Structure 1
């Protein structure tokens, strides 16, 4: 398992759309993830509304 960070804004999560735009996803499964809290903080400061929360989640690590 590894820890990644997502940005929660109210009831939604910051999401990277296929067309390159940054939007909002209603579920955590659609959230953009970051490998460090600092990276998530930079993205939140640039793209999230003023009220946000950085959430740490555990995910299965890729077998490579």
Structure 2
């Protein structure tokens, strides 16, 4: 398994919006996955309220 990182802000998770920007999704399975914690933190600092959380998720390799 490989780990990835998602950004949670409140009860929602960052996702990729249709216009390529950051949107919000209600479930972690719809969240945008970042390959590094630094990348997730950079996106969170730019787009989230200060109370964001970086969550590690496991993704199965195929």
- For normalisation by structure 1, the TM-score amounts to 0.88
How many corresponding residue pairs?
62
Q: Which runs of 5+ in 1 are unaligned?
A: none
Structure with higher Rg: it is: 1
In angstroms, what is the RMSD of aligned CA positions? 1.0
Deviation beyond 3 Å, 4+ runs, structure 1? none
Q: Which runs of 5+ in 2 are unaligned?
A: none
Deviation at 1:6, TM superposition (A): 0.1
SS in structure 2 of the partner of residue 44 of structure 1:
helix
1:18 maps to 2:18: yes
- For normalisation by structure 2, the TM-score amounts to 0.91
